[in-house]
Amino acid sequence: MTTLAEFVRNTEFFVIAHRGDSGRAPENTLAAITLALQSGSPMIEIDVQGTADHSLVVFHDSVLGRTTNGHGQIRMFSAGEVRALDAGGWFSPDFAGERIPYLTEALDLIQGNAYLNIEVKSHAGDANTILHTQLLLQEIRKRDLFPFTMFSSFDHELLLDLRKAVPNIITCALNVPADARLPSDVVASCMANSYGCSVHELTTIKAENCSMHRLPWGAYTVNTPEQLQYVRTYGLHAVVSNHPSTLLQYLP
């Protein structure tokens, strides 16, 4: 694989699988990641959180109830406890028994097969979350994955901290809703490499600003061919999708 920086420079437009192929399998599971890889998604986005015993797992919400048969905040439980939960039955009986993956399991699947997009959660000064972010960076460093990984976040102070910790890190500043700043100003404030916003936040002014500053940018969450056609009129470089296998059929 070429580095992520080279890939972005040489690729006009690409699709990012949101939490894996989360339209066809329960989000942030090995099943969803596997389907995204099989579809040919060049980049897979996952969410990483820490457990009470400081294990890193792939999971989006701070609470367990939406996508598992558990309840309560994930950070209050050990890895063994959250791994005992059913993380697939809520999506379909076909995925009953699917587990919350360890980060290492997800990386074993993705490494060398697709680029990685890790959404990093805001730590807000929480000591455990700061520790878990450090452990995340250690795991990426141990696997020599920094050239193939992008870290995205709504917490721009956190992105700046990541830049200070790893000067050559690749980051994406996700626009905070109601932030009226231009993309170039958002990116400059946290020394990010790229900019992302929701499909509902796309404007001609943002498009012109990104073009003027040669700033790679993308939008989430784009799930239909009609949405894809619409967002491409803004000159985006990438979209994040729950249905990457569908959108990939409409690319050259």
Inside any domain, residue 238: yes
Mean pLDDT of 216-233: 97
Mean pLDDT of 17-46: 98
pLDDT, residue 178, reads: 87
pLDDT band, very low/low/confident/very high, at 185 (cuts 50, 70, 90): very high
Mean pLDDT of 205-224: 98
Mean pLDDT of 175-180: 93
List of residues 6+ apart from 252 with CB closer than 8 A:
none
Could you give the number of structural domains in the chain?
Answer: 1
* Options 18, 123, 132, 243, the catalytic residue: 18
Long-range contacts of 162-165 (CB under 8 A, 24+ apart): 162/120, 162/133, 162/137, 163/190, 163/191, 163/192, 165/134, 165/137
Tell me if residue 90 falls in helix, strand or coil: coil
What is the distance between the alpha carbons of residues 41 and 39, in angstroms, rounded to a whole number? 6
18 is catalytic: yes
pTM, whole model, 2 decimals? 0.97
Cβ atoms within 10 Å, residue 248: 17
Nearest of 77, 52, 46 to residue 128 by alpha carbon: 52
pLDDT, residue 122, reads: 84
Inside any domain, residue 221: yes
CA 103, 104, 110, 115 torsion-angle sign: positive
Half-sphere exposure of residue 10, counting CA atoms within 13 Å on the CB side?
7
pLDDT band, very low/low/confident/very high, at 203 (cuts 50, 70, 90): very high
Extended beta strands in 98-188, E state: 115-119, 149-153, 170-174
Residue 37 CB burial class (10 angstroms; 0-12, 13-18, ≥19): middle
Extended beta strands in 98-246, E state: 115-119, 149-153, 170-174, 194-198, 217-220, 238-241
Q: Which helix (H) or strand (E) holds 106?
A: helix 103-110
> 3: cis peptide before it, omega within 30°?
no
pLDDT band, very low/low/confident/very high, at 193 (cuts 50, 70, 90): very high
Inside any domain, residue 79: no
Return mean pLDDT, the chain.
97
Cα angle 149-34-73, degrees, rounded to a multiple of 5: 70
Residue whose entry in the numeric block shows the structure tokens 């231009």: 182
Inside any domain, residue 93: no
Inside any domain, residue 78: no
Inside any domain, residue 128: yes
Inside any domain, residue 88: no
**What are 151-171's pLDDT values in tens digits?**
999 999 999 999 999 999 999
List of residues 6+ apart from 182 with CB closer than 8 A:
205, 206, 209
Residue 199: which domain range? 4-62+101-248
Inside any domain, residue 69: no
Q: What is the CATH number of the domain that holds 188?
A: 3.20.20.190
Radius of gyration of the chain (CA): 17
pLDDT, residue 126, reads: 84
